[in-house]
Chain A
Amino acid sequence: MYGVISPPKSVDTSNKRLPAESAPVPELTSAPALSLDRVHAPFGDNETGDGLHDISLQVARGERVALLGPSGEGKTSLLRAIAGLARVSRGTVSVNGRDVTRTAPEARGTVYLHQTPVLFPHLSVLDNVAFPLTVRGIAPDERRRTAQRFLERVQLGELGARLPHALSGGQRHRVALARALAASPHVLLLDEPLSALDPILRREVRETIRDLHTDNPAGMLLVTHDLEDATALGDRIAILLGRELAQVATVATLFSQPATLAVMRFLGVHQEFAGIMHDRERVHTLFGTLTLPRETTSAVHGADQVVIGVRADALRCVPGHEAHETPPTHAIRFSGRVTNLHHRPSGSSAVVQVGESTVEALSDRMHPPMVDDSIIVSLDTRGLIAFPR
């Protein structure tokens, strides 16, 4: 453990909500926490049309959605537009069912957290966390008690009297998160909360976010360009490509059924091969003729040349003792020559020359093949996806 939040048994569950008289608890409505309807958000003050287009997205209450995309796609711009810190030129932003497109930032029910935690340097840690309660006019004693409870939830109960400059990077992140939750927002907007953190701190802040958000009714939209962070924190992932939302899906769906070739390439978990359609379901590849899963045939209907995506775990080196067994019906086998071996913490794989191309296939870590070995590779066709070329 790296100074992460205590398990719930040590936390008084009554602390997870502010008392009704001290802060507005999000209303129990059936409306999503956040709803974006065809939002256009220009970059900066430009009127040239450069910006985000037609962004529609819903975040349910208590749901975490990771907004994932390459740098420069406008992820931060979208978050700032939702928070009221940047302009929305068209479309509607609704929070808890209320249209807040033209509402001031402080009245939206959203809290936006900058990439680097912005704590007020002249206020103590406790007063920083109490800030949202101070501006609501909560009595000093009550706001200090409430802020102290939030500080204890992030295991910083002893540091309330310190000034922000005396905190470590991880502590600053945790104070910022505690302050955000003290505001009892309907929607939490986190801008790259884990970038620029070392691996240990990254894990610490990631667990803090997960723990603090557990049982919290606020919807969370967090921006990241890191697939691992997105899968670790997001209940769903929204992919922003070409300044438009390319796909919004659960992690499992995203990896098994990327909506477009661009999404598949951005995710980077598939190997790509060229193919020529034989009929509506079958495609010729360097591995032989494959039958595409039914889910993907409609995507390539009418196409002649296609791109086949194969997930890394669909290709496997067949151990010697299995080589003579009959393969399952959903698998095909082909032979090749090992040209290289990769050993990673997650497992080992072999780079196999097949005709003019190479594939990378998972190998048995205990009995890996040797370079120059001729081996048999099994391809599980259930994970195939195809897109028109």
Chain B
Amino acid sequence: MTRASLHHSAWRFALIGALTLSTFVPFVILLLQSVSLQWRWPDVLPQSFTLRAWSDVFGSALGRAAVTSALLAVTTALTATAFALPIGRALARLHGPARHLAAALVFLPVAAPPIALGAGLQIGALSLGLGGSAVGVWLAHCVPAVGYVALLFLGVFTTRSGEDEEAARSHGANPWQTWRLVILPSLRGPIAEALAIAFLISWAQVALTLVVGGGAVRALPIEVLALVRAGQEREAAVGALLLVMPAIAALAALRVGVRRTDALPA
């Protein structure tokens, strides 16, 4: 091995090490914080440990908030995917300026700062009598989720030739049968991705939940925020780790899915 290649390898290891540290250190700290009974500065590790914060999750405000968040995220994922799929397909069929304009409209809620979006949606929710309600928050979560997922389906349908739909129709399938028997089964992968993305958008949503929910809808991120502000560090760490779990699960599922298609090295 030459001196230059040794130099390059050292740099490569250093960069990978730095990336690994920056990725994992916050989670390690959260994990330690969630089980620490006493952890004083400048000690590197807690002096004593407890699992109390974890065992108290069930039945606590944190647990209830996790259930609320899960319900919101699941309904948002289902609703957003159901709406975004036909929207993405319709966008993919447009041509020229109409397509760019429509895509920009879909992208607007994605690009807009959530707090600005929330301010606008709050007025709408209040006028509909949905301010401070879970239904209002669910509808608010759907706005950016539909945008994200519609863009995903726009990409999917843009690259599809549509020949399978034509073949189905030509072999006697009506439009509904074509959707049920051909299009939806062939979109299993993108639909799973869309559900995961929409779920995560809702699950981690702070600004829209706070503004439209008005503090009355206690979703998990709101509860974690409250615990941090109250200085309940152990419970806040447990809540933060709960928040991270679906993301890790989604990444693992994506990894499995991608490996199945040989897009990543084993």
Contact = CB atoms under 8 A, between A and B. Distances in A.
A387 interface: no
Interface stretch (A118-126, A296-304, A308-316): A118-126
A183 B171 contact: yes
Contacts of B173: 106, 131, 135
A123 B167 CA distance: 14
B174 A120 contact: no
A106 B169 contact: yes
Contact of A135 (B163, B172, B185, B188): B172
B169 A132 contact: no
B164 A120 contact: yes
B93 to A, nearest CB: 11
Contact of A114 (B163, B172, B186): B163
Q: Which of B169, B177, B186 has the most CB of A within 10 A?
A: B169
Nearest to B177: A135
B182 interface: yes
A112 B166 contact: yes
B181 A134 contact: yes
Contacts of A248: none
Interface of A: 83-85, 104-106, 110-112, 114, 118, 120-123, 131-132, 134-136, 179-180, 183
Interface of B: 163-164, 166-174, 177, 181-182, 185-186, 188
Contacts of A114: 163, 166-167
Nearest to A127: B181
A183 B172 CA distance: 7
Given A118-B163, A120-B164, A122-B186, A131 B181 contact: yes
Contacts of A121: 186
Contacts of B168: 120, 131, 135
Contacts of B185: 120, 122-123
Given A85-B166, A114-B163, A120 B182 contact: yes
Given A106-B169, A136-B172, 19 more contacts: A85-B166, A104-B169, A104-B174, A106-B170, A106-B172, A106-B174, A111-B171, A112-B166, A112-B170, A118-B163, A120-B182, A121-B186, A122-B188, A123-B185, A131-B168, A131-B173, A135-B177, A179-B171, A183-B171
Contacts of A122: 185-186, 188
Contacts of B169: 84-85, 104-106
Contacts of A104: 169, 174
A111 B181 contact: no
Contacts of B174: 104, 106, 135
A292 B218 CA distance: 98
17 contacts: A84-B169, A105-B169, A106-B171, A112-B170, A114-B166, A118-B166, A118-B167, A120-B182, A120-B185, A120-B186, A122-B186, A131-B181, A134-B181, A135-B168, A135-B177, A135-B181, A179-B171
Contacts of B172: 106, 132, 135-136, 183
B166 to A, nearest CB: 5
Q: Which of B163, B167, B174, B186 has the most CB of A within 10 A?
A: B167
Contacts of A183: 171-172
B182 to A, nearest CB: 6
A131 B177 CA distance: 11
A301 to B, nearest CB: 47
A134 B177 CA distance: 10
B166 A135 contact: no
Contacts of B186: 120-122
Contact of B170 (A85, A120, A134): A85
Nearest to B180: A135
Given A112-B170, A131-B171, A135-B171, A118 B164 contact: yes
Nearest to A179: B171
Contacts of A111: 170-171
A74 B174 CA distance: 27
A44 B177 CA distance: 26
Contacts of A136: 172
A355 B186 CA distance: 67
